[in-house]
Amino acid sequence: MNPINAMKLKIASFDFTCCEGCQLQLANRESHLIDFFELLDVRNFREISSERHDDYDIALIEGSISRRDEVERLLKIRQQAKVLVAFGTCACFGGINSLKNRFPLDKIVRDVYGDMAVETLPIRKISDLVKVDLSIPGCPVSKEEVERIIVSLATGSQVTLPKYPVCVECKQQLNTCLFELGEICLGPITRAGCNAVCPAGKTACLGCRGPAEEINMPAFLELVQERGLNPRDLQDKLAFYNAFEPLATDET
């Protein structure tokens, strides 16, 4: 056995109810993959390898939980993993899948599938069911951020996420504030780390990375009110990824 390979950190990636876009973000970074995986022994990662192994130190979990068999599978992964990472907005907060929780599931299943038996449960984020050691938000995640965090785990370095809001990154790029264009943007209250990719493209931030630390929610609500913007629009944006629950309430 190669002694270098014996020192590699064993990592596995698993997908649940999701689009697998976060895993593809990492897998598609071809120019960095060789150097990146010099630090890692990939034990399970469907987008990268057909090999399957049940021994791993770190488990990356993409997706939310929507069925009983997913619950059982997640519990088994948690038992094996020394470090479990919620990977992407669906895993961290429930994500866009959480929108289904607004509807009566039994009725919707009957309307869509008729008499066909379809198992479905209300969407839950990973931390609703197991202990999460680390969360990497984003829809999709940032390739650079994931690589930096996993390298930190592999080398025993401190893992950090930005504490400031997306507005900081947006101003660094000299973007026109979308509030000036008459839109509600969640950049002032959303955790940075995405390089303000949506506002830079003139698309309002929907808060996929969740709340920044120590946000000033009263000031943000006052800004929305002062601009005469639609409070129902604000409510929909806050609830879109389920990342601002319980801030996304009817009283907001």
Same domain, 7 and 77: yes
- Are 83 and 136 in contact by the 8 Å Cβ rule? The answer is no
pLDDT given for residue 246 in this prediction: 67
Q: Do 116 and 175 belong to one domain?
A: no
pLDDT(187) > 50: yes
Token representation of residue 168: 């900081």
Whole-angstrom distance, CA of residue 22 vs CA of residue 29: 12
Shared domain check, 174 and 139? no
Q: Would you say residue 4 has pLDDT above 70?
A: no
Q: Provide the pLDDT for residue 29.
A: 67
Stated pTM of the model: 0.89
Rounded mean pLDDT, 114-119: 88
User: pLDDT averaged over the chain?
Assistant: 90
pLDDT over 80 (residue 3)? no
Res. 6: pLDDT tops 50: no
User: How large a percentage of the chain has pLDDT more than 90?
Assistant: 67
In-domain check, residue 115: yes
Q: Is residue 206 part of a domain?
A: yes
Query: How many percent of the chain have pLDDT more than 70?
Result: 93
> Can you tell me the mean pLDDT for 15-36?
84
**222 close to 189: Cβ distance less than 8 angstroms:** no
19 and 103 belong to one structural domain:
yes
- What pLDDT digit, counting tens, does each position of 27-42 carry? 886 777 777 777 889 8
- Tell me: do 150 and 175 sit in the same domain: no
For residues 223 and 103, what is the distance between their CA atoms, to the nearest angstrom? 31
The closest of 74, 105, 125, 95 to 241, measured between CA atoms, is: 95
Model pLDDT, residue 51: 84
One domain, residues 16 and 130: yes
pLDDT per residue as tens digits for the range 58-113:
999 999 999 999 999 999 999 999 999 999 999 999 999 999 999 898 888 888 89
Range of weakest confidence among 5-14, 167-176, 237-246: 5-14
Tell me how far CA of residue 207 lies from CA of 22, 41, 123, 166, 198, in angstroms.
16, 33, 18, 9, 10
In a domain, 12, yes or no: yes
Residue 82 lies in a domain: yes
Burial level of 101, CB count in 10 A (0-12/13-18/19+)?
middle
Q: Are residues 132 and 181 in the same domain?
A: no
Asked if 111 and 191 sit in the same domain, the reply is no
Residues in the chain, total: 252
Domain residues for the domain of 170 are 166-239
| Domain end (from 155, 188, 220) | 155
Q: Which residues on adjacent β-strands are paired with residue 74?
A: none
Same domain? For 43 and 85 the reply is yes
Same domain membership, residue 76 and residue 26: yes
Same domain, 230 and 130: no
Number of domains the chain is built from: 2
DSSP 48: T
Residues 59 and 173 in one domain: no
The domain that contains 88 carries what CATH number? Answer: 3.40.50.700
